[in-house]
Amino acid sequence: MILVLKPGAPREQVDELIGRIKTMGLDVHISVGVDTTIIGLVGDTTKLDRLVFSSYDIVQNVLKVTEPFKKANRMFHPDDTIIEIGGRKIGEGHFVIIAGPCSVESEEQIVGIARELKNIGATFLRGGAYKPRTSPYSFQGLGLEGLELLKIARAETGLPIVSEIMSTDVLDRFVEDVDIIQVGARNMQNFVLLRELGRIRKPILLKRGLSATLEEWLMSAEYILSEGNDKVILCERGIRTFETYTRNTLDLSAVPAIKKLSHLPVIVDPSHGTGKSWMVGTMSKAALVAGADGVIIEVHNNPKCALSDGDQSITPSDYAAIFPKIKQLAEIEWKRLEV
């Protein structure tokens, strides 16, 4: 349930109303917009009578929120959320490019790619240190050493870093070292991990699960938000369908759908979404036009020898060819490219 307040509602009366809501065992989420202030009621409101609140003078409207996600819901927060990381903005009117290899493999590899990306133009550097691989015999990532190498690449280029966390054991290190903590598709419903990430204040990049509906994905975001971390960025990375030509089916319609349902920024991963390096440029452009707030692209200096996801990785020179097209499209779509 949300309460839309009348413009200029006196502070004391608002506080009194909030106090009343809290005595009912509910939590409040307040969103102060340009024209209106909204109080969102968080908790079990199923038995609440809306008349209880419409009798308050300062309440203009009482609306039922039928979706199970509350803090992620656009009704709770009509304006788009904009998240700022190291002076770069993610969210409405801004477009970010996160680029880098699937896995951090060596200092030479990650620093080399980071330098090339910085020269061409990128917002953030990605690189997996902990890799969720289908086979236990595949390369599992360099672990903490990988994080150290990412830090070297960040120091060399100034690009903030994005890396995937798989378990809470290393949470302190991620909080210390990483600028955006990625939750991979396979952990989208690891609720213990999500709750812990809700208790920190770092931005979280939450990928859509392999077969997750939009509602399940937003409920996972809700786990993080409900604990107090409001810096959640969603990432559409393709879903499992009957089609096998592409690695996954990139659901670009998820972008406008999420924008309607939620205020959270949403980016697109055309690399995992297609599994094919030659589709990455086209689908990045499509993502931008579909309304995404950014893309995350796998770039490797030698994709044939990559320790993971070589087939979907583009080279720095492919990236250099795609970049100006994204830049031009961003201008057409009135988005500021954050590089």
**Pick from ligand PEP, Mn ion, none: which does 132 bind, CB < 5 to 8 A by kind?**
ligand PEP
Of positions 187, 309, 313, 322, contacts Mn ion by CB under 5 A: 309
Residues within window 227-246 making contact with ligand PEP, judged by CB under 6 A = 237
> What is the residue whose two structure tokens read 């409040």?
28
Of positions 1, 38, 102, 283, contacts Mn ion by CB under 5 A: 102
Residue 73 or residue 163: which is nearer to ligand PEP going by CB? Answer: 163
Residue 66 or residue 134: which is nearer to ligand PEP going by CB? Answer: 134
**Can residue 129 be called a binding residue for Mn ion (CB under 5 A)?**
no
The interface region with Mn ion, picked from 21-29, 97-105, 147-155, 237-245 by CB under 5 A, is 97-105
**Can residue 221 be called a binding residue for ligand PEP (CB under 6 A)?**
no
> What is the residue whose two structure tokens read 């979907």?
312
Residue 179 or residue 309: which is nearer to Mn ion going by CB? Answer: 309
The interface region with Mn ion, picked from 70-78, 79-87, 275-283, 309-317 by CB under 5 A, is 309-317
Q: How many residues bind ligand PEP (CB under 6 A)?
A: 10
Please work out, in degrees rounded to the nearest 5, the angle formed at the alpha carbon of residue 283 by the alpha carbons of 207 and 239: 40
DSSP of 148-212: HHHHHHHHHH---EEEEE--GGGHHHHHHH-SEEEE-GGGTT-HHHHHHHHTS-S-EEEEPPTT-
**Can residue 89 be called a binding residue for ligand PEP (CB under 6 A)?**
no
Please, what's the b/e burial string for 188-203 (b: 16 or more CB within 10 A of its CB; e: otherwise)? bbbeebbebbbebebb
Q: Closest Cα partner for 12 from 62, 78, 57, 60?
A: 57
Please work out, in degrees rounded to the nearest 5, the angle formed at the alpha carbon of residue 14 by the alpha carbons of 12 and 15: 65
* Chain residues in the site for Mn ion (CB under 5 A): 102, 309
